[in-house]
Structure 1
Amino acid sequence: MTDAIPTDQIKDQAYDLECTNIHKNFGAVRAVDDVSFKIPKGSFFSILGPSGCGKTTLMRMIAGFEDPSSGDIQIKGKSVLNTPPNKRNVKMVFQHLALFPMMNVQENIAYGLRCIGTEKSEIERKVKDVLERIALPDVGSREIHQLSGGQKQRIAIARCMVMDPDVLLLDEPLGALDLKLREAMKIELKLLQHQFNTTFIYITHDQSEALVMSDHVAIMNEGRFEQIGRPEDLYHKPNTSFVAGFVGDSNRWAGKVSATDGDSFKVETDAGLSMISKRAVAGPFSAGQSVSIFVRPEFIKARKSALMTDTEKTANKNTLQGRVDSVLFNGANSRVLVRGPVGELIEADVVVTGGPDDLRAGDDVTLVWSAKQTMCFAA
């Protein structure tokens, strides 16, 4: 378990949120298991994991809707364990936004301020200011049903931000949007977070959302944090096989180490393939040890066998012959599924130009990739 963001990745030593040894039990089930982390001031921090891993339970404890079985939660350096939700300076945006349909935009945003007795002139000033900051200065008099999906997202955030929270929690707020709007809102949310300079904690099972928007991401699995780091580090330098398999796409093989040579080692997979790796995660490994191999599709070069040069083959340590099973067209950067020599499907990313060199189903191909891009983990 990673306890905190590495200190060399923290620009500001002031923490908006610190969780220490958090456990949460529901009867015999441990939903959150000894989670510790710190979030620097003004960060966009995502908790990424599969459904049921404990991320929403963790967020509910931060918000005050659940009490931890043990451990401590500090906001701005002060424990909030005995502080009710309405007394914590934490706001939350839910997946379905929970905007009030009987109120217009301005009334929705002003609701929290009215509840705490803010003067009318101050409410008007704050609502006007926050609408300008979310780039919707002219929608205050509109009804909620008159807004687009993206506008509703921004109003839900504005309703929280007008209260000047220390931390904003977002529980899969893009889940109900269509794909195109969801892609646009990733950029919108990142820009809004910079605009307000408030710590955002974002819960998601969608790796694309977490990687695109976040300064740091925590990968959660079965109630524990497997790794915390920058998105690029999680992708290129996973610490565990779970992170390697969950973040991004990978081809995966199980096998055993058959030989070692300095920093290189040879693996015989259970399917009968031989591979060379120079990336032993938590290694080194010894002969006979069971391991898992991961290779990302973008690191595999797939070329028609007749066009593959000797230089291309020798520049890489791993070479396989196969036949294209299908091409998954996705514009210029598409993916091919190649049936390998023992019948397994191997995924490789290719550039599609529309020319005669493009791969098609039935083409005989050679797959090559570097030993340095072959990640190996203890099984």
Structure 2
Amino acid sequence: MQNMGGEQVTEAVAHAVSALAVGTGRDWAGTKAGGLEWSCRSTAQHVAGTLIAYAGRLATGARQRVSFDTVLLDEADNTAVLDVLTTAGALLAAAVATAPREARAFHAAPFGSASREGFAAMGVTEVLLHTYDIATGLGVPYEPPAELCGGVLERIFPHVRPGHAPWPTLRWATGRGDLPGRAPLTDWYWSNDLVIPADGLTLQGVTPAAAADLAAGGSGGFHWIGNGPYEGEGAGEAGTRVAAGMMRQTYEAGTHRPEWGMFVLVRAEDGRAVGAMGFHGPPDDEGRVEVGYDLAASARGNGYATRALRALSSWAAARDDVRTVFGKTDPANTASQAVLTRAGFTRVPAEGDLHLYELPG
């Protein structure tokens, strides 16, 4: 799995500065940046200010919006503007590189916070898109590395079906270009991972990039306890890796919705991942949504699954589009039945061999 961290921020900024350097002799203040209303100069100022704001939020763990006003002096020429952009990129790269894995800070879209990886991905995206805007306005060529584009798509655009070429896909996903077979976008958004707190745990949303790594035998970027993640037992039981592979398939099909995907259960005491839990997809037309879960063998018997299921099902049941949260379990799996019961679910009549448990929304 490709990292999304300080090195990627530095790479994106360096590539942008190199591309824009050929246009420093042109009128940045009097030229609009592509399809934006801003000038090329004010767009560069916006990027620098955003990178600094991201660095400040992440470094301090800000729980509310922290804004900075980056001002370019009148005497600063276009080369100096690029120096400011390089400096701002270095500040964000340093903040990302030194932040603990579990660090989160405020970002409104869409779930209220972002991790260090999220801030890196957002910073890279700001640089890529607005460099394209500036380059378009100045009439200079620009195409960022495909790996950087693919990295941000897999982390903060989980709702966007990937294309064969990451850069055109990212431009389309942000309303900056057409893509064959897809309708043009006039409104777009990115999506950081959802984190749901539980008693002594956090349920951390799995990105498509992490899902691919887990399915391939990697860690997904999580620090697992010794015998995790759970691999499943027998032909009919899916463990974390199989579930991650299934989530990855929905992403590649363009049907993945991050809030209805997969979460890894992380202990607050040591940051270790102990299991996985999530939904089998968004609610159906009747407002029914199914949950599933597993734990690494050495993590069982500590109440982790019960506490996590209470938090996840409560989050789902509180939504207007959910009428019922339900889970199915094999009749012989008494441990899973106990988890459902302790989490507030009630067994109801079911067709077939599986036991059915429901929690009203």
Give TM-score, length-normalised by structure 1: 0.28
Which entry has the higher C-alpha Rg, 1 or 2?
1
Q: Which has the higher helix share?
A: 2
Higher strand share: 1
